[in-house]
């Protein structure tokens, strides 16, 4: 195991983070395979389990920075059109339209739809709310992102499409699961191996979109 010498002025928590990065096989693999982040392997593993990227032609990546998930989409389905959004700057990616703005802004969904120019096969959300350290508050903030992502997915997905979103430990709450089941044929929770064991993140995977609310039975 590689150790990091405690530098003057560096917090113990920062030293631990550096050590974890240096000894993380996914970080090393991401560098070797030219992925922007280890998060790419979360989507690769979810795709292996659920077949998310099979035949997709239009994908929306909510919380795209630094771009690892969109890299996976482009490598697995080079023909797919990809539109991403993030408040943080994201270096350009070939074949990907990137909007630097807050997804929660009123005009964001419209701009995403305009950039996409068609219905989507898949809406991905690796968005995470800024945590404040208060478990209930952090959970509510994250659920708000997931629910807003779901509203957007209902507007842009073609029938049969899928929505994947990051949730916290315990998964989506009962209300959200019920909403997802109203709109999708299957709703499952998954924690891909690339998600660190000590991380509270899980993903909700909703597949088989039944159609926009006014069309859904």
pTM of the shown model:
0.86
Catalytic-role residue among 166, 181, 191, 197: 166
Q: Is 163 part of any domain?
A: yes
Spatial distance between the Cα atoms of 69 and 42, rounded to a whole number of angstroms: 8
Q: Assess if residue 5 is contained within a domain.
A: no
**Structural domain contains residue 76:** yes
- In the annotated binding site for S-adenosyl-L-methionine, the residues are 67, 69, 86, 102, 126
* Total domains present in the chain: 1
Is residue 112 in a domain? yes
Residue at 12 is within a domain: no
Structure confidence at residue 217 as a pLDDT band (50, 70, 90): very low
Say whether 111 is catalytic: no
Flag whether 217 is in a domain.
no
41 domain residue, yes or no: yes
**Does 27 reside within a domain?**
no
pLDDT tens track for 33-87: 989 999 999 999 999 999 999 999 999 999 999 999 999 999 999 999 999 999 9
DSSP codes of every residue in 167-209: EETT-S-HHHHHHHHHHEEEEEEE--TTS-TT--EEEEEEEEE
Look over the chain and give the mean of its residue pLDDT values, rounded to a whole number: 87
pLDDT in tens, 1-23: 555 455 555 565 655 545 555 55
Local confidence band at 198 (pLDDT 50, 70, 90 cut-offs): confident
Contact 122, 59 (CB under 8 A): yes
**Residue 85: which domain range?**
37-209
**CATH number of the domain encompassing residue 154:** 3.40.50.150
């Amino acid at each position: 195991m590689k150790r990091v010498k405690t530098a003057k002025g560096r917090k113990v928590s920062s030293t631990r983070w550096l050590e974890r990065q240096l000894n993380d096989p996914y970080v090393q693999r991401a560098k070797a395979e030219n992925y922007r982040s280890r998060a790419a392997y979360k989507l690769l593993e979810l795709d292996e389990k659920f077949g998310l990227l099979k035949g997709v032609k239009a994908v929306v990546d909510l919380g795209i920075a630094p771009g690892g998930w969109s890299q996976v989409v482009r490598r697995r389905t080079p023909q797919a059109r990809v539109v991403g959004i993030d408040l943080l700057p994201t270096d350009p990616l070939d074949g990907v339209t990137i909007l630097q703005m807050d997804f929660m802004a009123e005009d964001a969904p419209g701009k995403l739809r305009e950039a996409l120019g068609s219905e989507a096969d898949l809406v991905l959300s690796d968005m995470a709310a800024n945590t404040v350290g208060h478990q209930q508050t952090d959970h509510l903030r994250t659920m708000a992102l997931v629910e807003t992502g779901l509203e957007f997915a209902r507007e842009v997905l073609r029938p049969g499409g899928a929505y994947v979103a990051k949730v916290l430990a315990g998964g989506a709450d009962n209300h959200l699961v019920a909403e997802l089941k109203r709109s999708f044929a299957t709703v499952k929770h998954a924690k891909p191996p690339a998600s660190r064991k000590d991380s509270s993140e899980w993903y909700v995977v909703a597949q088989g979109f039944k159609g926009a609310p006014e069309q859904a039975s």
